[in-house]
């Protein structure tokens, strides 16, 4: 699954950007509050408007403080998947349950420096694991292959039946790196500049999908 990140799109033309990738699986929306990460992007009102403007399911990645309070609202606004950071959550299990109750999939994200092992039991409550392959906060960073063991670990637990979730990667995903992530076990790929920086975003989505499928032998 390919999830273009609108962080790399023209914020004055978000509806057009969404339309240009109408064949994508998800549309990745980075919500930043300038507290949890040193950047400020968009919030709930824009997500509501974007949901009304596109049929592509919204994949909201909340890089914010106090996600326990705010995350369910994004599900209520129509997001298909709402992911928050374990590093910011006081009660990840209850927040996941609240997101699901509001009608969305629940996702848990971990920063590059956060180990996955302490959260393997918690992940039973989630539909998506988002492994950050860059430090969250800004687009355009270089892919960090040293985090791929976390992707492999998650995939091992999915294959063993211990977990049932999507394994998503976000950060530096491009034609040059998507195969590494796919081989490690990721099945959802967030790509920003590799899509919206291309002359033809729709073609870029399809090219990334082909590379991932080749690496996954699908």
Query: Would you kindly state where each structural domain of the chain is located, as residue ranges?
Result: 2-216
pTM: 0.96
Per-residue confidence (pLDDT) for residue 218, from 0 to 100: 58
Enumerate the β-bridge partners of residue 7.
Answer: none
Class level of CATH domain 2-216? alpha beta
- Confidence (pLDDT) at 139: 76
Average pLDDT score over residue span 84-92: 97
User: Above pLDDT 90, what percent of the chain?
Assistant: 95
Kindly list the catalytic residues. 30, 170
Rounded CA-CA distance 53/47 in Å is 10
Give the least confident one: 81-95, 126-140, 180-194, 203-217. Answer: 126-140
Q: What is the pLDDT of residue 168?
A: 98
Rounded distance between C-alpha atoms, residue 85 and residue 4, angstroms: 20
pLDDT of 138 reads 79
The string of DSSP codes covering 30-60 is: EEEBSSSSS-B---HHHHHHHHHH-SSPEEE
Separation of alpha carbons 170 and 151, rounded Å: 11
Is 25:14 a contact under the CB 8 Å cutoff? no
The 10s digit of each residue's pLDDT in 9-32 is: 999 999 999 999 999 999 999 999
Please give the average per-residue pLDDT across 70-96, as a whole number: 98
């Amino acid at each position: 699954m390919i999830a273009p990140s609108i962080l790399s799109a023209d914020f004055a033309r978000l509806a057009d950007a969404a339309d240009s990738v109408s064949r994508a699986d998800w549309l990745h929306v980075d919500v930043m509050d300038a507290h949890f990460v040193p950047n400020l992007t968009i919030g709930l009102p824009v997500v509501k408007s974007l949901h009304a403007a596109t049929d592509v399911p919204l994949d909201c990645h909340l890089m914010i403080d106090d996600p326990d309070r705010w995350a369910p609202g994004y599900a209520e606004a129509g997001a298909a998947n709402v992911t928050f950071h374990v590093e910011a959550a006081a009660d990840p299990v209850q927040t996941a349950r609240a997101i699901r109750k509001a009608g969305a999939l629940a996702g848990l994200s971990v920063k590059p420096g956060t180990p996955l092992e302490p959260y393997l039991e918690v992940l039973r409550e989630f539909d998506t694991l988002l492994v950050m392959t860059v430090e969250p906060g800004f687009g355009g960073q270089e892919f960090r292959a040293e985090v791929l063991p976390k992707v492999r670990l998650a995939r091992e637990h999915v294959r063993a039946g211990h977990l049932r979730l999507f394994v998503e990667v976000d950060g530096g995903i491009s034609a040059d790196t998507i195969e590494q992530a796919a081989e490690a076990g990721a099945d959802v790929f967030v790509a920003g500049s590799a899509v919206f920086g291309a002359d033809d975003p729709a073609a870029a989505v399809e090219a990334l999908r082909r590379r991932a499928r080749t690496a996954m032998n699908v």
